[in-house]
Structure 1
Amino acid sequence: MSDDNFKITIDDVAKKAGVSKTTISRFLNGRYEYMSDATRENIEKVIEELNYRPNNLARSLKSNKSRLIGVLVSDISNHFSSILVKGIGDVCKENGYNLIIASTDNDPLKEREYILSLLDNSVDGLIINTAGGNDDFLIRLSKKGLPIVLADRSIKNTVFDTVVVNNYEVTTELILHLISNGYSKIGFFTGKIGNISTRTERKQAFIDVCKKYLKKDECNLIFEIDNHLNSIEEKLKAMINSNKGARPAVFAVNGMVLLNVLQVINKLNLKIPEDIAVCGYDDWGWASLIPPGITTISQPSYEVGVESAKRLMSRINKNIEDKPQKLILNATLVIRGSTKSY
């Protein structure tokens, strides 16, 4: 890119597009309701032709906005996080905002430190996929007036706009599916649950269904595992060997755990579903490719990001003044061969 591109001004864009500087400014701030589609498309074309880069520093000083959004995800290595951020980023880009992304590694202390750092960088708002355990801190933060939206994970009080999926209902549907297909020993495999709302909700649905439909000694098969495959292997063997007469199944709390469980099953040369049924949260691309196809819960990860960002944009632009709301999106059960009856 030539240095000359940085000399292009808003006056040059307005002149070539045949509109006023005010119209260009409105376009750059995402206020498209003040112009026709034809005008918007023409401005986009001119900006691309001139390779115009707005002076964000000057814009932020004039509008008292940094045009920056802070996004905190619990684990950037989790495919869910990248899809979530993609949804957030697409909406923010349309509205002239850039992202600063931080990964907390599900650590409440890191989450607090990153939030304070983002506040020091004068972000205009925050979208938080919270690690849990920071409810009081977040509630105190709400009193500072900074727009905040919680994505995927919630806290007990609806202090912030929150976008989640129907974890309890869809997990209930999946466990009932396993039981109806004759699986009477179901292991719930999860990372550390702690105060993470999504894992807590899925665990509670598992417990409630098992207590209602299975024997008492089959309702407490909850295994908190780390990322080491040896930990999963040990617990999986114990579950299978504890009762030879029952048909075993594994429910994985998310896509990362599901992938690790599948690696252990492959190592042990277990056949799916003849030796053990397998299912879990997150319908990532490979789930349909692993024979005989892995039953999963498909959650609208991208849509969670989109709706979170839309809500935040509305709060920043003061388009809504109502109390914070919790928006619940529907995840869906995708049944494949890994849980079939035989």
Structure 2
Amino acid sequence: MQKITMADVAKAANVSKSTVSQYLNKRYEYMSEETKKRIAQAIEELGYQPNFVARSLKQKSTSTIGVIVFNILHMLTTQVLRAIEDVCQERDFHVIVCNTDDDPEKEKKYIEMLRAKQVDGLIIFPTGRNYEWYEKMVNESFPLVFVDRMVPDLPVDAVLLDNYKAAKLAVDHLADVGYERIGIVTPPLVSYNIPRTERVEGFKLAVKARGLQVMDEYIVNLEIPCIKEGLTKLFRSGCPPQALFAINDLTLMEVLHFVQENQLRIPHDIALISIDDVPFASIYTPTLTTIAQPAFEMGRKAAERLFQKIERNNEEKEPQILRLEPVLKKRQSVSWRSNP
């Protein structure tokens, strides 16, 4: 079967090869509607498939970006990805998504693979443990944007939540309605996970600012599978917390499992607030008070920033750190506590 070429399309449409090339690259400035219609018809009738590899070599662009996420099961991740994909669709770019499970070795392999495929840029939810690879891309002026996390002392653009404000919103709302003994549930605190450390630090600062005591035993700092066991020990103590702050959707799920298994009543036995406005928050019984992250805005801003770096050949040296505003969604899992 003979391969259809651009010359065949040009002949069928009665135009030059350069005009067909301009059409394929969406450069329509001096092209009439009739010419565009003839070229489109010729492409369809002949079944012409552009050679994207040849185009990428000629244009020095693959029209592809890579997105490396640390956990595709997080609601934040899926929403950010959707927004990134929307921006890429507007620009006729393709997206390759890789999931690291927060494993630095997997992250390193994906960075190598995507660079080998000559993607035009990368958006990474960084594990934080591949500093030399991030630094190498910075030194090469490779377009790179971090999402949800940043890496200290590394000049890379980052888009993330204002985690201190999110924690303050949670504590202030609980304190405003009469809660004094407030606990926090988090996976293990590690230096490379910026959101966790900022949310816990923000929680402590907010508790102290309200004149309340930070209780070390109320900080449930465990791997996800161990959270229920930790909560069980805490609630068997003589003075359990009156309210819990779950720092993300995965910790929230463990808290809800614990509540259900121990037949606790929300908010009568324990008030509950979490970061990430999970889809079921407004239909759970009782409805769940949450701190919503502007996930779609995060994804769009990250993609737009990456395209700015691609189009300007990453000439800007000063990194931009965008901290987006959290939003408190008041629902029934936090109510007025008349007898604190």
Question: Aligning the two structures, in what range does the TM-score lie when normalised by the shorter sequence?
Answer: 0.7 to 0.9
1:240 to 231, 235, 238: 235
Q: CA deviation at 1:196?
A: 0.9
User: Secondary structure at 2:312's aligned position in 1?
Assistant: coil
Residue 277 of structure 2 is matched in structure 1 by 283
Q: Give per-residue Cα distances to partners, 1:248-294, cap 9 Å, x unaligned.
A: 11111111211221122111110000000111111121011111210
1:212 to 209, 212, 217: 209
Contact map agreement 1:210 1:219 (CA 8 A) in 2: no
Structure that is richer in helix per residue: 1
1:223-238 alignment, distance < 5 Å: 223-228=220-225, 231-238=226-233
1:63 to 59, 66, 83: 59
Residue 88 of structure 2 is matched in structure 1 by 92
CA distance in 2: counterparts of 1:314 and 1:77, whole angstroms: 29
Contact map agreement 1:72 1:102 (CA 8 A) in 2: yes
Q: CA deviation at 1:45?
A: 8.1
Residues 42 and 256 of structure 1: CA distance in aligned 2, closer, same or farther (over 3 Å): farther
Residues 17 and 261 of structure 1: CA distance in aligned 2, closer, same or farther (over 3 Å): farther
Residues 25 and 324 of structure 1: CA distance in aligned 2, closer, same or farther (over 3 Å): farther
User: Secondary structure at 1:242's aligned position in 2?
Assistant: coil
Letter in 1 for 2:204: I
Residue 202 of structure 1 is matched in structure 2 by 199
CA distance in 2: counterparts of 1:201 and 1:25, whole angstroms: 48
In structure 1, runs of 5+ residues without a counterpart are: none
Q: Does 1:260 align with 2:254?
A: yes
User: Secondary structure at 1:150's aligned position in 2?
Assistant: strand
Letter in 2 for 1:154: M
Q: Does 1:317 align with 2:311?
A: yes
Residue 160 of structure 2 is matched in structure 1 by 164
Residue 134 of structure 2 is matched in structure 1 by 138
User: Secondary structure at 1:290's aligned position in 2?
Assistant: coil
Residue 151 of structure 1 is matched in structure 2 by 147
Residues 81 and 15 of structure 1: CA distance in aligned 2, closer, same or farther (over 3 Å): farther
1:296-307 alignment, distance < 5 Å: 296-307=290-301
Contact map agreement 2:13 2:39 (CA 8 A) in 1: no
Contact map agreement 2:183 2:241 (CA 8 A) in 1: no
User: Secondary structure at 1:310's aligned position in 2?
Assistant: helix
Contact map agreement 1:104 1:111 (CA 8 A) in 2: yes
CA distance in 2: counterparts of 1:52 and 1:284, whole angstroms: 45
Letter in 1 for 2:224: N
CA distance in 2: counterparts of 1:267 and 1:133, whole angstroms: 37
Contact map agreement 1:184 1:214 (CA 8 A) in 2: no
Letter in 2 for 1:234: E
Residues 11 and 128 of structure 1: CA distance in aligned 2, closer, same or farther (over 3 Å): farther
Aligned residues: 330
Q: Does 1:24 align with 2:19?
A: no
CA distance in 1: counterparts of 2:105 and 2:117, whole angstroms: 19
Q: CA deviation at 1:157?
A: 3.0
Residues 66 and 254 of structure 1: CA distance in aligned 2, closer, same or farther (over 3 Å): same
Larger Rg: 2
Letter in 1 for 2:268: E
Instruction: Name the stretch that deviates more: 188-197 or 287-296.
Output: 188-197
Residue 334 of structure 2 is matched in structure 1 by 339
1:129 to 112, 125, 129: 125
In structure 2, runs of 5+ residues without a counterpart are: none
Residues 13 and 106 of structure 1: CA distance in aligned 2, closer, same or farther (over 3 Å): farther
Q: CA deviation at 1:168?
A: 1.0
Letter in 1 for 2:297: E
Q: CA deviation at 1:156?
A: 1.6
Q: What's the TM-score once normalised by structure 2's chain length? A: 0.85
